[in-house]
């Protein structure tokens, strides 16, 4: 059973990694199989729903990894401005490390899958979860609940957009700019 789980997980991880580089359209079964080292028959065995099932799992993996970090920040009482700075630093490092090939898999998927009946709702669910968690950290720091929800969505939008522009410009300056513009929207922690 361990081999089955390992192969399935490798395929999901590979799909998320390919997605961050090539988006939904470029995340083909062949590329995922090559990246994961899984045999061809693995797709129908592990993902009877085909490519969209695999991509759905990859989006959940990518989304959950960020949600886990955001949830930990909320529980630790990390100031929202520090959360935003941390997200910016993470993506700056990832972009530099991959020579600007790897952005955010969820942001990349949003470009291709916004109207896909299977994948569009998954992307929306992930973004909603991120916005909700970031808003929770802001409310915990003293922000009004309604204003926190709006500011969280603006922050996520700004950073996702900055990641895309950073890839195009081959510079992390857009991320720095987005963080510098978004951080003042974040509440200072309660004393």
Quick one: pLDDT at residue 14? 97
Structural domain boundaries enclosing 134 = 55-185
Quick one: pLDDT at residue 40? 87
Domain contains 59:
yes
Domain contains 104:
yes
Domain contains 190:
no
What's the number of domains the chain is made of?
A: 1
Quick one: pLDDT at residue 59? 97
Taking the chain (191 residues) in runs of 10, the rounded mean pLDDT of each run is 72 96 94 94 91 96 95 94 94 96 94 90 97 95 91 96 96 98 82 57
CATH code at 160? Answer: 1.10.357.10
Domain contains 5:
no
What's the distance, CA 71 to chain centroid? 14
Q: Which residues of 26-52 are buried (b: 16+ CB within 10 A; e: fewer)?
A: ebebebbbebbebeeebbeebbeeebb
Quick one: pLDDT at residue 4? 52
Q: Which residues contact 98 (CB under 8 A, 6 or more apart)?
A: 21
Domain contains 13:
no
Domain contains 81:
yes
Domain contains 14:
no
Cβ atoms within 10 A of the Cβ of 191, count?
Answer: 4
Domain contains 116:
yes
For the entire predicted model, the pTM comes to 0.90
């Amino acid at each position: 059973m361990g081999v089955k789980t390992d192969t399935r997980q490798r395929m999901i991880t590979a799909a998320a990694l390919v997605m961050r580089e090539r988006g939904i359209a470029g995340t083909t079964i062949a590329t995922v199989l090559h990246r994961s080292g899984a045999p061809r028959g693995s797709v129908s065995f592990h993902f009877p729903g085909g490519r969209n099932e695999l991509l759905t799992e990859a989006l959940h993996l990518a989304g959950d990894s960020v949600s886990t970090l955001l949830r930990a920040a909320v529980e630790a009482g990390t100031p929202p401005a520090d959360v935003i700075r941390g997200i910016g630093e993470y993506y700056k490092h990832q972009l530099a490390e991959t020579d600007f090939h790897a952005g955010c898999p969820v942001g990349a998927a949003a470009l291709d899958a916004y109207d896909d009946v299977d994948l569009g709702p998954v992307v929306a669910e992930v973004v909603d979860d991120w916005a909700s968690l970031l808003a929770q950290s802001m409310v915990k720091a003293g922000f009004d609940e309604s204003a926190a929800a709006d500011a969280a969505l603006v922050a996520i939008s700004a950073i996702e957009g900055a990641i895309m522009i950073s890839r195009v410009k081959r510079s992390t300056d857009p991320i720095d700019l987005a963080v510098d513009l978004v951080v003042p929207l974040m509440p200072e922690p309660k004393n």
